[in-house]
Amino acid sequence: MPHSTDGLRVGYVLKRFPRFSETFILNEVLAHEAAGAIVDVFSLLDPPDEPRHASLTRLRARVTMLSGAAAGRDAHPATGDMELFSGKTPRQTGRLMAKAGAVANAARARGITHLHAHFGSDAATVALLAARAMGGTFSFTAHARDIYHTYVSPEADAAMRRAKLRAAAFTVTVSDYNARHLAALCPEAAGRIIRLYNGIDLRAFPPVDLVRQRPGRMLAVGRLVEKKGFASLIDAAAILRDRGLAFDLDIVGSGPLEAELAAQVDRLALSRHVTLAGALPQERLVERIEEATLAVLACKVTKSGDRDGLPTVLLEAMARGLPVVTTTVSGGPEIVLPDITGKLCPPDDPAALAEAIAAVLADGDQARRMGAEGRKRAERLFDLDRNAATLRALLAAPATAPARIGRAA
């Protein structure tokens, strides 16, 4: 994209920053800063009390916390904005409108004319209202829960999402699957929707040293929530154990299903094979990847419609040269080329998942070839520097983004 991004200044509107599980946002902002952009971050809520990634110390962005903006003030949206606030109480509506006002005031004072939100939920609502108030533009990146989960009702949620898609200068989303879904939801915005994969810092994720890999070591990383499919993965582990396969599985992450999954491991007598390792900072996760021979994630669609978009951890595993086993849910087929970079299987099918894992672990030479092809695919599609540069070009000239989106994809 030929557009210059010299002197770019942009405001990022996020629900909570930093978030331990959202390294893709931190890495994106760091890539912008490394290229000379100035980023201001507006966090709607205070960050949770959780570990921090070491790379956060490199961040130069000013982070403005908006958790106290006009707390407790009731408000009602303008008639044309009713769709944006479906299911919100007057108190919740007032808080979001007050935060939008605070963002608009700060952006005007700092010379920011464009705002970019991650996730098409409250952050995108605030970015939309703030951009309007300050006479600027906004865009957002759509991921997964924000475009699939049922918050109020399918009809109300669809209307809310269409309102944001119509108002945005452009919308980025992390998979072709998502882009097709959004274009069907809001055809009038289809020309302003771009698929842009999450980027991976390929320097931070070089190919693993094959000497350090431990045969049969599998790694699964993600929040312990239903859509990650960890219950199916543990059931698959029981099938592999009963077949006499030598393996061990590290499940890295924390979340509301931790106790339930631990009980499942105990009930199936899998403690010698499956470890719930808890959340790990990125630098310690890198150490775990060093010993793994396979990355696996059993993504599924929940009853509310929630699902993964494009799991960053699988992109990181491919960058490290690991074969990947995942399901056909949403962006899975965009990550894995069957029998070339890994294996795909149906969701909610522990037997099929076990079969796919066993096939990879049974043939070390094929697994290494898959890993090498995965690294090439990561270099071609998921390079952070290149993908962040594409986004910066859109952010630098949002008014002309639609004419250039086809070339960017």
pLDDT digits (tens, 9 = 90+) for 341-350: 999 999 999 9
Domains 9-199+383-408 and 210-381 share a fold: yes
Please tell me the distance from the alpha carbon of residue 318 to that of residue 375, in angstroms, as a whole number. Answer: 5
Residue 409 pLDDT > 60: no
Task: Read off the pLDDT of residues 192-218 as tens digits, 9 standing for 90 and up.
Answer: 999 999 999 999 899 998 888 999 999
Please tell me the distance from the alpha carbon of residue 385 to that of residue 407, in angstroms, as a whole number. Answer: 17
Report helix, strand or coil for 185: helix
Q: Determine the pLDDT at residue 408.
A: 39
Task: Read off the pLDDT of residues 337-389 as tens digits, 9 standing for 90 and up.
Answer: 999 999 999 999 999 999 999 999 999 999 999 999 999 999 999 999 999 99
Residue 72 pLDDT > 80: no
290 vs 10, residue with greater confidence:
10
Q: Determine the pLDDT at residue 407.
A: 37
Please tell me the distance from the alpha carbon of residue 396 to that of residue 32, in angstroms, as a whole number. Answer: 11
Q: Tokens standing for 40?
A: 């201001």
Q: What is the mean pLDDT of residues 124-129?
A: 97
Q: In whole numbers, what is the pLDDT of the chain averaged over residues?
A: 92
Residue 401 pLDDT > 80: no
Residue 71 pLDDT > 70: no
Sequence-ordered strand ranges (E) for 46-164: 62-65, 114-118, 137-142
How confident is residue 2, by pLDDT bands cut at 50, 70 and 90?
Answer: very low
How confident is residue 17, by pLDDT bands cut at 50, 70 and 90?
Answer: very high
Q: Determine the pLDDT at residue 165.
A: 97
Domain 9-199+383-408 has CATH 1.20.1630.10: no
Residue 3 pLDDT > 70: no
Share of the chain above pLDDT 70, in %: 96
Residue 106 pLDDT > 90: yes
Where are the domains positioned within the chain?
Answer: 9-199+383-408, 210-381
Please tell me the distance from the alpha carbon of residue 161 to that of residue 147, in angstroms, as a whole number. Answer: 7
Residue 10 pLDDT > 80: yes
Strands across the sheet containing 342-345: 274-278, 248-252, 217-221, 294-297, 324-327, 342-345
How confident is residue 6, by pLDDT bands cut at 50, 70 and 90?
Answer: low
How confident is residue 406, by pLDDT bands cut at 50, 70 and 90?
Answer: very low
Q: Determine the pLDDT at residue 197.
A: 94
Length of the chain: 409
The residues, any chain, with a CB within 8 Å of residue 12's CB and separated by 6 or more, are 25, 29, 39, 40, 41, 42, 61, 115, 116, 117, 118
Q: Determine the pLDDT at residue 286.
A: 80
Q: What is the mean pLDDT of residues 177-188?
A: 96
Task: Read off the pLDDT of residues 22-52 as tens digits, 9 standing for 90 and up.
Answer: 889 999 999 999 999 999 999 999 998 877 8
Residue 53 pLDDT > 50: yes
Q: Determine the pLDDT at residue 287.
A: 81
Residue 56 pLDDT > 50: yes
Q: Determine the pLDDT at residue 68.
A: 80
Asked if residues 115 and 107 have their Cβ atoms less than 8 Å apart, the reply is yes
CATH topology (fold) of 210-381: Rossmann fold (3.40.50)
Q: What is the mean pLDDT of residues 298-324?
A: 93
